[in-house]
Amino acid sequence: MAERAARRFKPKLKPVEARLVVHPHCHERAHGVSDSTVAALRLVPGLEVAEAPPGCCGLNGAFGYTPETFETSLAMAEIALFPALRKAGRDTLVAASGFSCRKQIRDGLGRPASHPAIFLALSLNAKGEAGEPQDPALAV
């Protein structure tokens, strides 16, 4: 966001009328860079962005795939992430930067999650047939 503060970053973002919950990957939070992802998404006009509460999705690479740790993986997601997504409602879109996070959300809750960059790309390129922004759910 330093480039935006220096007025060198001036994307021509089109409105995307939607609610979005962002679940940053654990490594983003650990390195203190998750705020940048959320701030970038908040540049999109009309996109109501909320960050999911801190917590792991539980999949952690291969951890959630093994029979011995599968239930533990889901229990980890139930600590914060899954309840927050349920509370947000089915009409709220989900962004998650980690592949494992997106898979866990899809498999555990049966709802799609897209990489945050998808929503920025939609805003940069979103034109429906009538020139209106496309529904971001079409890109997930």
Residue 139 resides in a domain? no
Question: Strand order of the sheet with strand 47-51?
Answer: 47-51, 18-23, 93-96
Q: Which of 45, 75, 41 is nearest to 58 (CA)?
A: 75
- Please report whether residue 98 resides in a domain: yes
Q: 71 CB contacts (<8 Å, ≥6 apart)?
A: none
**Residue 8 within a domain:** no
For residue 106, being part of any structural domain is answered with yes
* Structural domain contains residue 2: no
Q: What is the DSSP string of 120-132?
A: HHHHHH---TTSP
Listed range (4-13, 29-38, 39-48) with the worst mean pLDDT: 4-13
Task: Please indicate, yes or no, if residue 31 is contained in any of the structural domains.
Answer: yes
Burial class (CB in 10 A: 0-12, 13-18, 19+), 102: buried
Please check whether residue 137 lies inside any domain of the structure.
no
Whether 10 maps to a domain, the answer reads no
Which band of pLDDT confidence, cut at 50, 70 and 90, is reported for residue 140? Answer: very low
- What percentage of the chain carries pLDDT values higher than 90? 65
> Tens digits of per-residue pLDDT, 70-118?
999 999 999 999 999 999 999 999 999 999 999 999 999 999 999 999 9
Q: How large is the average pLDDT for residues 16-31?
A: 90
| Residues 6 or more apart whose Cβ sits within 8 Å of residue 62 | none
**CATH number, domain with residue 112:** 3.40.50
The CB-side HSE value for 100 (13 A sphere, CA atoms) comes to 16
Domain limits for position 81: 19-126
Q: How many domains does the chain have?
A: 1
Res. 4: pLDDT tops 80:
no
